[in-house]
């Protein structure tokens, strides 16, 4: 009963926030509504018992991706009013595409068959004794450690590649050198000059 209550709470909030993402005029508000939608979706995941996905959704999407969105929205000068201009004109086409996708999804879900060997072969731990975060960890860091580490290597190469291709070391850029700042003594910085009246500094 209580979980049903929460389900409807999260679901309604999620759908409402998602609608506001496309309805609101201010792009910053849109991103904030998207964050709200993700929080509610995370709540739905918790209700399903998939707490790992819930955490990932918050940490990765809210913590990283949406903050990036926010930066982009604030830094780029995009005229969202212009982008939205044809909204009503394209609404029928958009609705049609959405409807078709929905029908296709229903067909896929209706005709879903899992290959018979698939379930038995999957090296899943006993789900009645461990929660899903632990289960994922136990598979990921034992059976699939090789693939996990290789994926990390790929990300490292991507990072190196980005830096190699885009970073320009400019010679004439003045960088802050804290050591030089702190190590500077009074003698090096201040000079006391006796100025004779009427002559000024040379």
Partner 1 sequence: MPVTESLNLVAILPELVLAVGAMALLMLGVATREERGDLILWLAVGVLVVAGIFIACGEGTETLFGGSFIVDPYARMLKLLCLVGAAVSLIMSVPYWRAFGGMRFEYPILLLFAATGMLMMISAYDLIALYVGLELQSLALYVVAAFKRDSARSSEAGLKYFVLGALSSGMLLYGASLVYGFTGSTEFAQIASAVQPSGANLGLIFGLVFLMAGFAFKISAVPFHMWTPDVYEGAPTPVTAFFAAAPKIAAMALTVRVLISAFPALTTEWQQIVVFLAIASMGLGSFAAIGQRNIKRLMAYSSIGHMGYALVGLASGTVAGVQGVIIYLAIYLVMTLGMFACVLAMRRDGKMVENIDQLSGLSRTSPRMALVLAILLFSLAGIPPLAGFFAKFYVFLAAIESGLYALAVVGVLLSVVGAFYYLRIVKIMYFDDPAEPFEEMPASLAIIAGVSGALTLFYVVYPAPLVEAAGVAAKALF
Chain residues in the site for partner 1 (CB under 8 A): 115-118, 121, 123, 125, 138-139, 142-147, 150-151, 153-154, 156-158, 160-161, 163-165, 169
Give whichever of 9 and 156 is closer to partner 1, judged by the CB atom. Answer: 156
CB of 166 to partner 1, least distance (A): 8
CB of 47 to partner 1, least distance (A): 27
- Residue whose C-alpha is closest to residue 57's, from 71, 74, 36: 36
Residue 58 CA neighbour count, 13 Å, CB half: 12
Give the angle subtended at the CA of 72 by the CAs of 31 and 12, to the nearest 5°.
10
| Contact by Cβ (8 Å): 6, 47 | yes
CB of 117 to partner 1, least distance (A): 3
CB of 109 to partner 1, least distance (A): 16
CB of 113 to partner 1, least distance (A): 10
| Residue 114 CB-density burial (10 A; 0-12 exposed, 13-18 middle, 19+ buried) | exposed
Give whichever of 123 and 198 is closer to partner 1, judged by the CB atom. Answer: 123
Give whichever of 106 and 159 is closer to partner 1, judged by the CB atom. Answer: 159
Give whichever of 89 and 171 is closer to partner 1, judged by the CB atom. Answer: 171
Supply 73's token pair: 């929205």
Query: What residues contact 124, with CB distance under 8 A and at least 6 apart?
Result: 135, 139
Could you give the CA distance from residue 132 to residue 51 in angstroms, rounded to a whole number?
7
Give whichever of 26 and 162 is closer to partner 1, judged by the CB atom. Answer: 162
Query: What residues contact 3, with CB distance under 8 A and at least 6 apart?
Result: 47
Q: Which residue has the tokens 């072969």?
A: 121
Give whichever of 22 and 157 is closer to partner 1, judged by the CB atom. Answer: 157
Could you give the CA distance from residue 46 to residue 142 in angstroms, rounded to a whole number?
26
CB of 140 to partner 1, least distance (A): 11
């Amino acid at each position: 009963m209580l979980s049903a209550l929460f389900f409807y709470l999260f679901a309604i909030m999620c759908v409402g926030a998602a609608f506001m993402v496309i309805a609101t005029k201010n792009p910053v508000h849109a991103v904030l509504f998207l964050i709200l939608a993700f929080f509610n979706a995370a709540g739905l995941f918790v209700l399903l018992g998939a707490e790992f996905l819930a955490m990932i959704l918050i940490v990765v999407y809210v913590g990283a991706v949406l903050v990036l969105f926010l930066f982009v929205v604030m830094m780029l000068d995009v005229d969202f009013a212009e982008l939205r201009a044809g909204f009503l004109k394209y609404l029928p086409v958009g609705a049609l595409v959405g409807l078709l996708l929905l029908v296709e999804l229903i067909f896929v879900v209706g005709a879903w068959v899992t290959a018979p060997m698939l379930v038995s072969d999957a090296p899943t731990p006993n789900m009645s004794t461990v929660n899903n975060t632990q289960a994922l960890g136990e598979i990921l860091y034992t059976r699939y450690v090789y693939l996990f580490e290789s994926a990390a290597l790929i990300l490292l190469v991507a990072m190196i590649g980005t830096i190699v291709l885009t970073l320009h070391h400019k010679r004439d850029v003045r960088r802050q050198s804290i050591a030089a700042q702190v190590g500077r003594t009074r003698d090096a910085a201040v000079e006391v000059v006796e100025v004779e009246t009427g002559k000024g500094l040379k």
